[in-house]
């Protein structure tokens, strides 16, 4: 392997040009298998979160134990 900028770089063993590949016997394409359409089902990812708006997302409710970002408020007991 030679560096483009340095003509004095020696050739490293194992980096010779590859021999041309011999063409292999062509295999017939694999048979096409018809698959029946998959059944799809709706998953309830949000679970029981209470009331939802028109888009299906839960309505925001103020929780005195959480701040506006949803993180718990640390209080000394």
Q: What is the DSSP string of 21-75?
A: PPPPPPPPPPPP---PPPP------S-S-S-B-TTSPBPP---TTB-TTSPBPP-
pLDDT tens digits, 9-48: 567 777 777 777 777 767 788 888 888 888 888 777 766 7
Does this model's pTM top 0.75?
Answer: no
d(CA 3, CA 66): 62
d(CA 75, CA 77): 6
d(CA 23, CA 53): 64
């Amino acid at each position: 392997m030679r560096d483009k900028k340095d003509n004095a770089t020696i050739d490293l063993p194992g980096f010779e040009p590859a021999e041309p590949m011999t063409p292999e016997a062509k295999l017939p394409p694999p048979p096409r298998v018809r698959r029946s359409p998959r059944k799809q089902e709706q998953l309830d990812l949000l679970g029981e979160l209470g009331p939802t708006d028109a888009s299906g997302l839960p309505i925001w409710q103020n929780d005195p134990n959480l701040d506006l970002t949803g993180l718990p408020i640390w209080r000394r007991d």
